[in-house]
């Protein structure tokens, strides 16, 4: 009998393969349809599209679907501001106005 972790690992690998194939084809078709006509660049192959997709995921942060990564860039900031009372927030704003730093 197959172990559950082996079945789960195979399922994850299958999903990753399907996602890469689907998004790779989407990038390929969109690039080859739009970019050569608009910018005059050459068409790309499927593997170049997958590499471009990987670079975009790295550069533009689409890894946030994975556990341990922040969902937004704001999630990495300090949340002490949220816990302040209204009087404390106003005092902090006044102090920052004197130093020309803006807060939300």
Over residues 16-40, the pLDDT tens digits come to 899 888 988 988 999 999 989 899 9
Alpha-carbon span 13 to 26, nearest angstrom = 20
**C-alpha closest to that of 4 among 14, 12, 19, 65:** 12
- pLDDT for 20 equals 84
Q: Does residue 43 register a pLDDT over 90?
A: yes
Q: Does residue 69 register a pLDDT over 60?
A: no
Over residues 80-96, the pLDDT tens digits come to 666 778 888 888 888 88
Structure tokens at 75: 């999630």
């Amino acid at each position: 009998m197959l172990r559950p972790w082996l079945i789960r690992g195979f399922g994850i690998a299958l999903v990753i393969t399907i996602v890469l194939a689907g998004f790779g084809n989407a990038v390929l078709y969109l690039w080859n349809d739009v970019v050569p006509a608009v910018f005059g660049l050459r068409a790309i192959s499927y593997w170049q599209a997958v590499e471009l997709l990987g670079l975009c995921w790295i550069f533009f942060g689409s890894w946030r679907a994975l556990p341990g990564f922040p969902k937004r860039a704001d999630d990495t900031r300090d949340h002490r501001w949220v816990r302040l009372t209204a009087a404390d927030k106003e005092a902090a704003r006044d102090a920052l106005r004197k130093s020309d730093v803006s807060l939300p």
